[in-house]
Homo-oligomer: A and B are copies of this chain.
Amino acid sequence: MKTKIIRTSRAPWDSNWKADSLLIYDRYLLKVPGFRGWLKRFPASYGVKAGEELKDISAFPGHLSRISRLTSEMASRRMTILVAGGGSVGDFGGFVASIYKRGVRLVHLPTTWLAAIDSSHGGKTALNVEGAKNQIGTFYPASEVYLVKPFLMAQPPERAVEATGEALKMMILKGSAFFPPRIFTKDPSEALWTALPKLIQGKMSIVEKDPTETSGFRHLLNLGHTMGHVFEAELKMPHGLSVTYGLIFALIYSRSRRDCSEKDLAAIFSHPAWRMFLPSALHLRSLSIPPSRIRTLLLKDKKRTSRQLLRFIFVRKMGKPFIREIGVDEILDEVARQKRLLKVVYG
């Protein structure tokens, strides 16, 4: 099924939603002017608190019981679940839609940059089990994704800075046309809003070749995420920022393995957006995590192919990523090498 993407500068207050709809929304949105009034148009709505706790399986029976009661009068064949929120709300609401009555129509209204660029497209839904992220879930693409400018612009500007990491990832994966340097003006929010259609197109072009992660092609989207997840878990860094430092690690790693030439690396780093992240004390700090912790966290990687091997994404040049199986020990060696290098550079 093809997801229809609707990009709109107007708030959706006037949209005509069907009668049999449940709106699952981040309670934070109640602060957005006009949202409360919109809410009243839905026959049923369910406010949640965003975050990893929402995705914990232990809370899921309670959520489902309440949702079940809210929607008891709806005919399942016509029912739609609309999900307004960021990544965790989207993962949760998408999962509910994918299993409720064996699947009802799903519409995403991403309200964070990360969700608008990445998580609301491609059909992944997920919950956590015993602290292990995304241990269960489904592949269930939304029928429609609404990109609503007032929702996205309601975020603090830092969110756009953080999300720029995912935009840079798409540029490295697909080429500079997917996040052109010229649109990167002073306001990162406007840059992301402008880039959004190309960023989504880039993601979908990869997802469509491997929608359920069977061939492994989709794994390319994991560029920057192997170490990114380590930084996120250990340093409690925001996801987008963690991915950015994960990208930098993967790029330098590609160079140190001679997969990528000095010139091609420089071309990637010529994008002005990197200046928001480099040089930075965070960069050095990310590589100073004790090796034993890094090992433990890497071994929790869902993409692990065996006890000691991970599928790591390297880069030959802009638009030319590739996957290589690599040992955990090799990654730890590279962390140590990059750390020494950084100490020299940053002094």
Is A9 engaged at the interface, CB distance under 8 Å to the other chain? no
Q: A135-B68, A138-B98 are in contact. Are A302 and B103 (CB under 8 A)?
A: no
- A99 contacts B137, C-beta separation under 8 Å: yes
Indicate if the CB atoms of B138 and A68 lie closer than 8 Å: no
A48 within 8 A of B: no
Q: In the complex, identify which listed stretch (A70-78, A250-258, A269-277) lies at the interface while the others stay far away.
A: A70-78
A138 touches B305 (CB 8 A): no
Verify if A16 is at the interface (C-beta below 8 Å from B): no
Check A306–B75 contact: CB distance below 8 A: yes
Binary contact track A80-111/B, C-beta < 8 Å → 1, others 0: 00000000000000000011111100000000
Cα-based distance from A183 to B130 in the complex (angstroms): 52
**Contact between B76 and A102 (Cβ–Cβ < 8 Å)?**
no
Q: Are B302 and A130 in contact, CB atoms less than 8 angstroms apart?
A: no
Q: Give the docked Cα–Cα distance between A57 and B100 (Å).
A: 12
CB nearest to A307 among chain B residues = B73
Residues on B with beta carbons closer than 8 Å to the beta carbon of A130: 65, 68-69
A136 touches B75 (CB 8 A): no
Contact digits for A116-160, partner B, Cβ 8 Å, 1 yes 0 no:
000000001010011010111111000000000000000000000
Chain A to chain B: the 9 pairs with minimum beta-carbon distance, closest first: A99-B136, A57-B61, A58-B61, A102-B137, A68-B129, A65-B130, A64-B129, A57-B64, A100-B136
Write the residues of chain A forming the contact surface with B, with a CB cutoff of 8 angstroms: 57-58, 60-61, 64-65, 68-69, 73, 75-77, 98-103, 124, 126, 129-130, 132, 134-139, 212-213, 302, 304-307
